Structure 1
Amino acid sequence: MPPVSKTDYDQTYTYEEALKASVEYFDGDDLAASVWVNKYALKDSYGNIYERTPDDMHRRIAREIARVEEKYPNPLSEEAVYEVLKSFRYIVPQGSPMAGIGNPFQVSSLSNCFVIGSGADSYGGIAKADEEQVQLMKRRGGVGQDLSHLRPKGSPVMNSALTSTGIVPFMERYSNSTREVAQDGRRGALMLTVSSKHPDAEGFIDAKLEQGKVTGANVSVRIDDEFMRAAIQNKPYKQQYPIDSDSPVYEKEVDAARLWQKIIHNAWKSAEPGVLFWDTIIRESVPDCYADLGYQTISTNPCGEIPLCPYDSCRLLAINLYSYVDHPFTAKAAFNFEKFGQHVQMAQRIMDDIIDLEIEKIERILVKIENDPEPEDIKQTEYELWKKIRKACVNGRRTGVGITAEGDMLAALGLRYGSDEGIEFSTKVHKTLAINAYRSSAVMAKERGAFPVYDSAREAENPFINRLREADPALYEEMLAHGRRNIALLTIAPTGTTSLMTQTASGIEPAFLITYKRRRKVNPSDKDAKVSFIDEVGDHWEEYNVFHHKFLDWLSANGHDVEAVRHMPSEDLQPLIEQSPYHKATANDVDWVQKVKMQGAIQKWVDHSISVTVNVPEETTEDMVKKIYETAWESGCKGCTIYRDGSRSGVLISDKEKKKEGTAFRETMSPKRPERLEAAVVRFKNNSEDWIAVIGLFENRPYEIFTGKSEDIFIIPGYVTGGWVIKNQDEEGNNRYDLQFEDKQGYRVTIEGLSRSFDKEYWNYAKLISGVLRHGMPIPYVVDLVEGLNVEEDYINTWKNGVVRALKQFVPDGTKAAESACPSCGDQDGLIYKEGCLICKSCGHSECG
């Protein structure tokens, strides 16, 4: 069977066709459908869509897996692979594998994540790492970097600077590079780590406290056991550089308890830094048995679930645990361990096939680089980078088999997430997963050959391998006899968009919310319409309950009328939720001690790591956060991240009322619109056309925006820079927005219908921006949001840039820019907003000329 080629695809679909068909595929779930079409449907660089529904995608993936299988004994058939992939029911390739397998239109990697690091402590090494990072991100990969090899602040250097600036400025450099790289509608992802032994660790810990700093990276501290013991026992702790040297050139003694408290405080305040219990990671790491052969773990991927050596990468795949519960939500509910074990072995085999496909992809990348017209010296870094990645991939054949729907599996079995019984059962499931994945890898070693550097003697004292040996002696003997196909196999990653398509809880997490309210516009003349309210522009809306998908399954299994429940008032709905197995088992309900215990117990059967967040309520104290972290260390977790409700802006919140007295804002943070608003008039070019934006101001802050061509019906005299936006009604009773201003003679002139020069697309974008403005998002963030809108047509892009220029005038002078490194003088935090333009306070550089 030949590889998939462009000639295999002769039919394209419009976005609307693919979305409509996919909504039907997902039983009306428009969010799942739009995520699939936007992120995973096969498309070329011009946006042409070649797949109508996820079923087409699953056929594409199954064909490619079967093609690889044909190279080996006892191959899986295309139909067998398709059966476990279809409908996202059992085995789900995540992210890059889903988008890239069998994709002949784009040259991209199948790896979800990479770690880089030459260990060079020089400007050349730092710049090279920056280039390697963006080269990987443009191929769709997330990247991790450790900064512990960089000399601390104040160290002497052999150049005109005389002393080193330390690691913090380079955090900002790498963060900014991440923000600049687009990946199919999203920015790149970056993890920065540093050892607690590094003398600049405190600066690293504080780097993100300043608003707008290091916004393009997650940060975690590599904490060793010595630090934890010193912090708990209130003893001093030695930092040094180099951190692992027997003869360091610099040493200092610090108060471990004070530094630990700083980590706790910052995590309590802003959910970062995360902590990585580094000695546990290295002690348990199977790849580190081969550290001298290039597999020494130095950092993790952006979400922390894959600790990696330099230039290694990993691909992710999730097994949908909910689908192995027979008769879910009934008295007969039972977990099908036999089917689960069989599918785990298939999943590991499919993951190994994906490694072969990744090696093919890397070869294509190398050929593309060779054929690029750039000079050899410019291409050299990227070319050598992919050669190193290929070597690590070939010699280790690392995989990342994980799970999703842990919370739904437990609920379907009638077990409460976080209960002792639930923890015990989950641990049994993950033990079964580990044994069967390693068995599959051992069988493949016999059929296909072991990973090239395998050596059983190196692994003899590894705790994870010995745990497997005790649980299944026959499996261990199989590995001794034939080796193993893969250096490390397992992880538990956040499943994000994957869980939207499996319509389950994400990864190892419990369900986030059982229900929230949603609104949809209805036609008031529709006799079946249930109008909940009429908004300020006269549109009619129905309000209804949206539920966690598997809660609906519970409703059906227990004889409830789902449609009736959708429209229940909150007071009737809550008693129903309390009858379900999801009661007291959502993200903010689960007791933190139990969640950390669960993570530690499951970690024993995961050879990489686990991405999990401990959610705690807003009133949680710093002492409680400290207990969470310390219990995680004591329980054998490899890392821990906490999120205190409300500690970081821009995340999902529940629909609980949060009313504050004495504020002009209601619970939605949207102040009621007065009939009359002050207006600012801003002019800009849209390609060669003259355009005008009218911005309605509430308490001197942008509240809404209208824009259109100045030479069309949107004619406003050139001297007009302000006035009033007045809300009126037309003859049919619909809301209308007019601009009123004073002419040169002092007479008031009114221009009616600010919105009528919009076409549909402009109007939708303007409503989105206006909604964000009136709900109180800080203007720099609105500017960033609008700049990040992914639009293909040039005319929309130009319009978007004009709106950005208009809004920037309302950024308070002195506000630091997210992109804070000056392109002229390099000052790391020199760029500030002044009169709507980015100005460098150090050298005077201006983006406005």
Structure 2
Amino acid sequence: MELTKNAKTVLEKRYLRKSGDRLTETPEDLLWRVANNIAQVDRNYYPHTEDKINEVAEDFYDLMDKNYFLPNSPTLMNAGSELQQLSACFVLPVEDSMESIFESIKNSALIHKSGGGTGFSFTRIRPKNDVVLSTGGIASGPISFLKVFNSATEAVKQGGTRRGANMGVLRVDHPDILEFISCKEEQTEITNFNISVALTENFMKALENGENFKLVNPKDKKTVKEIDPKEIFNKIVEMAWKNGEPGIIFLDKINEENPTPELGEIESTNPCGEQPLLPYESCNLGSVNLSVMVDEKKNKIDYKTLKECVHKAVHFLDNVIDANEYPLDKIREVTLSNRKIGLGIMGWADMLYKLNIPYNSDKALETAKEIMKFIDDESKEKSRGLAEERGAFPNFEYSIYKESGEPPIRNATTTTIAPTGSISIIAGTSGGIEPNFALAFSRNILDKETLIEVNPIFEGVAKKEGFYSKELMEKISKEGSLKGNDEIPDNIKDVFVVSHDIESSWHIKMQAAFQEYTDNAVSKTVNLPSDATKNDIADIYKLAYELNCKGVTVYRDKSRDEQVLQKGDSEDKKKQKQKEKAAEQSSKPYIIPRKRPDVTIGKTEKISTGCGNLYVTVNEDDKGLCEVFASMGKSGGCAASQSEATARLISMALRSGLDVKTIIKELRAIRCPNPTWDSSGGMVLSCPDAIGIVLDKCIREKESGEKVDKSDNGIQKLDRLMGACPECGGHVRNESGCITCFYCGYSKC
């Protein structure tokens, strides 16, 4: 397997086994570990000799080593390990009771610990302020519990390899829908969830016809109120324009293609939205690398190799179902009953480059339908072959296949198109069906050297056509796109388009083309330029509905504080801004803190931290807050000295006139290895966070004139990505509501 530098970094950081900081596994070892482990399942079905099992393992190894196919990350990470949890996608039910809610929180923690992501529908929870008959109390509503799930996720780390990720879904007819739509308006809130509004046919028809729409209490199915659907739709558009959340899913469209409708309705999806699942279902995903399925001499798709790849990949994924160690017995039971797999693709944009087809063209749409129909047909042919050998999935009798008289099939679904964040980096190709974000990037190495990374297909064409130069590649890295570049022939510019060159309608048309021949759903983000309007987003949603997509996510460039993958001269602009700021500061006198007053008035509060009890004193004089003292309750030690130093710097900042809210913002969400719960009920992430909590209480009491028992929980504010990957400083890109580092594979949904 030919590995790029980025692929090696991702493998070493997240996939290869280690002993301490020392790698004990090579990429070749990893592939053999996975191939051997998954091949052993064949023993359950055939009286295979050892040679036959080895032959299957070699097939699986070659499939990955030739860069034809890769399974989802948990399979690469955990196959052949003690954990052996191989699935990426789970959905858990959330019923309208405390027992169900906290059972789901517990179960999701077990899933996150094992490396999976979870989806939930909060639709069954009664609305805010509804009366709880059993207690006489007032219901807090689904959004309050969404925040509890978010906090629980933050407390669970996935073994240092994958972070907890969730999808929260609410039906559009829930009475709390407007609150749900705006629940992530503050970008530091609910950071461990993607959210999606489940739009229904009734809603879309009411919107189209200008009719009022009923909001229904899920507890008793009674209408709570009628509302203009435009109010809901416009709110969705407004929030998506602001920061890309919420996404939307078309719930009735999803259930029209539910393969087992007798078993219940699908209510939610996995965190990236491409895998609708019944409660307690899981799904194992994998992706074919289309960029290597091209016969470049004949300039056409290599369907012979693709067919062999699809058949082996279906065999592989069906084996994964049996090889899996499920985090819950109920998940094992439901998963084995339906045996869903999701074979998808990556490298689509790179394949189009090789075929000399523009992404934004009718030819590309025709090719998309042709190739996905081929993959879907061949995956089902192989699944039916497996059913003859191993038996159909147990719930086949309750499926659409049985109803329509089709022959037995091994898997209730066979195709899904995922975003392929990390595995596409390993494969060295474009992600999912997304266009490339840029053709060249500049990367600073230890602030001493700038490395230009160029799409290898474009680089090869540039050299072949004779217009390659280092200077030109540097220029392209600053622009990201070829648009407007007079040094490059028009026919090359037409083919090598990037995301922001493509009108939004082409993004949706491409998604719809693949969706036509995909069992589950298609992960797709419509990346928009920063000057895109709310009307642009509204048009995207309406077109997605008209073209029978199952959902859609949009992201407007620079709409979040954590700017996703940047192209252009971002580094140059940063340096220029730094120079301008330095020049501005040099023209001003230094700020000298005012003298500490002789008399101050204040109070001391004890707060629990992971290092012990911290005593925080906040004092003020006639001009406002002026000083902070922090003592660990025990003298000496690093923690005590660091707290004292932090308090002294805060005091200087206060007496220099810095807004205390700005100070609090910087202190909150700093995390140490030992967060803890304070007696007031909130989580304390570190000693600086504790000082921020006490300061926050002080100013809130001053503003309200009332006693404040506790501060807002700080854990939603963790891991804000301020323009770059928090681990390596590299570029991050937005894919289906998640951000993935282009260099080290860090990802967060």
Same fold (TM over 0.5): yes
1:309-328 correspondence runs (5 A): 309-327=278-296
Residue number in structure 2 paired with 1:255: 228
Residue number in structure 2 paired with 1:112: 88
Deviation at 1:284, TM superposition (A): 1.7
Verify the 8 A CA contact 2:91 2:118 in the aligned structure 1.
yes
1:395-406 correspondence runs (5 A): 395-406=337-348
Deviation at 1:311, TM superposition (A): 0.5
CA shift in 2, pair 1:653/1:111, >3 Å:
closer
Deviation at 1:830, TM superposition (A): 3.9
CA shift in 2, pair 1:426/1:557, >3 Å:
farther
- Are 1:210 and 2:191 counterparts? no
CA shift in 2, pair 1:506/1:264, >3 Å:
same
CA shift in 2, pair 1:133/1:541, >3 Å:
same
Identity of aligned residues (%): 28
Counterpart code for 1:258: E
Q: C-alpha separation between the residues in 2 aligned to 1:778 and 1:350? A: 53
Verify the 8 A CA contact 2:477 2:568 in the aligned structure 1.
no
CA shift in 2, pair 1:575/1:56, >3 Å:
farther
Counterpart code for 1:437: S
Residue number in structure 2 paired with 1:275: 248
CA shift in 2, pair 1:165/1:413, >3 Å:
same
CA shift in 2, pair 1:137/1:120, >3 Å:
same
Q: C-alpha separation between the residues in 2 aligned to 1:815 and 1:550? A: 57
Deviation at 1:108, TM superposition (A): 4.6
Q: C-alpha separation between the residues in 2 aligned to 1:426 and 1:514? A: 22
CA shift in 2, pair 1:338/1:666, >3 Å:
same
Deviation at 1:114, TM superposition (A): 0.4
Residue number in structure 2 paired with 1:614: 526
Residue number in structure 2 paired with 1:78: 57
Counterpart code for 2:303: F
Verify the 8 A CA contact 1:143 1:190 in the aligned structure 2.
yes
- SS state at 1:252 partner: strand
- SS state at 2:163 partner: coil
- Are 1:547 and 2:446 counterparts? no
Residue number in structure 2 paired with 1:597: 509
Q: C-alpha separation between the residues in 1 aligned to 2:250 and 2:645? A: 63
Structure 1 unaligned blocks of 5 or more:
1-21, 366-385, 463-476, 522-539, 689-709, 725-738, 740-776, 791-799, 817-823, 834-849
Q: Deviations over 1:123-180 (max 9, x none)?
A: 2221112111112111111000001111112222134452212111111111111222
With structure 1 as the length reference, what TM-score do the two structures score?
0.68
Residue number in structure 2 paired with 1:26: 3
- SS state at 1:438 partner: helix
Residue number in structure 1 paired with 2:657: none
Counterpart code for 2:500: N
Q: C-alpha separation between the residues in 1 aligned to 2:323 and 2:80? A: 9
Q: C-alpha separation between the residues in 2 aligned to 1:199 and 1:542? A: 56
Q: Deviations over 1:375-416 (max 9, x none)?
A: xxxxxxxxxxx1101101211111111110111111110001
1:175-574 correspondence runs (5 A): 175-185=150-160, 186-242=162-218, 248-288=221-261, 290-292=262-264, 296-327=265-296, 332-358=298-324, 361-362=325-326, 386-455=328-397, 458-459=400-401, 479-480=406-407, 483-521=408-446, 541-558=448-465, 566=473, 574=485
CA shift in 2, pair 1:501/1:575, >3 Å:
farther
Counterpart code for 2:423: T
CA shift in 2, pair 1:668/1:134, >3 Å:
farther
Q: 2:582 aligns with which of 660, 672, 684?
A: 672
Deviation at 1:653, TM superposition (A): 4.2
Q: C-alpha separation between the residues in 1 aligned to 2:700 and 2:498? A: 38
1:756-771 correspondence runs (5 A): none
Verify the 8 A CA contact 1:208 1:214 in the aligned structure 2.
yes
Deviation at 1:32, TM superposition (A): 2.2
- Are 1:50 and 2:50 counterparts? no
Q: C-alpha separation between the residues in 1 aligned to 2:9 and 2:24? A: 15
Verify the 8 A CA contact 2:508 2:544 in the aligned structure 1.
yes
Q: Deviations over 1:34-71 (max 9, x none)?
A: 21112111246x566320x3111111112123322344
CA shift in 2, pair 1:160/1:449, >3 Å:
closer
Q: C-alpha separation between the residues in 1 aligned to 2:362 and 2:673? A: 45
Q: C-alpha separation between the residues in 2 aligned to 1:430 and 1:638? A: 16
Residue number in structure 2 paired with 1:796: none
Q: Deviations over 1:172-228 (max 9, x none)?
A: 111111222111435300100011121111121121123432222111011001101
- Are 1:100 and 2:78 counterparts? yes
- SS state at 1:402 partner: strand
Verify the 8 A CA contact 1:401 1:491 in the aligned structure 2.
yes
Counterpart code for 2:281: D
Residue number in structure 2 paired with 1:67: 40
Verify the 8 A CA contact 1:679 1:722 in the aligned structure 2.
no
- Are 1:136 and 2:111 counterparts? yes
Q: Deviations over 1:57-113 (max 9, x none)?
A: 1111121233223444596532222111115x1011121011011123xx2511101
CA shift in 2, pair 1:410/1:203, >3 Å:
same
Query: Over aligned residue pairs, what C-alpha RMSD do you find?
Result: 4.1
CA shift in 2, pair 1:120/1:786, >3 Å:
closer
Deviation at 1:622, TM superposition (A): 0.9
Verify the 8 A CA contact 2:314 2:379 in the aligned structure 1.
yes
- Are 1:639 and 2:551 counterparts? yes
Q: C-alpha separation between the residues in 2 aligned to 1:618 and 1:219? A: 22
Q: 1:588 aligns with which of 500, 510, 522?
A: 500
Residue number in structure 2 paired with 1:14: none
Verify the 8 A CA contact 2:295 2:302 in the aligned structure 1.
yes
- SS state at 1:128 partner: helix
CA shift in 2, pair 1:563/1:686, >3 Å:
farther
Residue number in structure 2 paired with 1:40: 15
Verify the 8 A CA contact 1:322 1:406 in the aligned structure 2.
yes
Verify the 8 A CA contact 2:199 2:251 in the aligned structure 1.
yes
Q: C-alpha separation between the residues in 1 aligned to 2:552 and 2:372? A: 19
Q: C-alpha separation between the residues in 2 aligned to 1:350 and 1:161? A: 54
With structure 2 as the length reference, what TM-score do the two structures score?
0.76
Counterpart code for 2:68: Y
Deviation at 1:457, TM superposition (A): 6.9
Q: Deviations over 1:553-591 (max 9, x none)?
A: 433554565767555687998445665367562111111
Residue number in structure 2 paired with 1:727: none
Q: Deviations over 1:287-336 (max 9, x none)?
A: 33x425xxx31200000000000111011111100000122xx7x42111
Verify the 8 A CA contact 1:112 1:142 in the aligned structure 2.
yes
Counterpart code for 1:599: Q
Q: C-alpha separation between the residues in 2 aligned to 1:173 and 1:60? A: 38
Q: C-alpha separation between the residues in 2 aligned to 1:394 and 1:66? A: 18
Q: C-alpha separation between the residues in 2 aligned to 1:297 and 1:721? A: 52
Residue number in structure 2 paired with 1:168: 143
Q: Deviations over 1:500-535 (max 9, x none)?
A: 1111111110101111222235xxxxxxxxxxxxxx
Deviates more, 1:628-637 or 1:174-183: 174-183
Residue number in structure 2 paired with 1:731: none
Verify the 8 A CA contact 2:171 2:199 in the aligned structure 1.
yes
Q: C-alpha separation between the residues in 2 aligned to 1:720 and 1:251? A: 52
Q: C-alpha separation between the residues in 1 aligned to 2:274 and 2:169? A: 14
CA shift in 2, pair 1:831/1:101, >3 Å:
closer
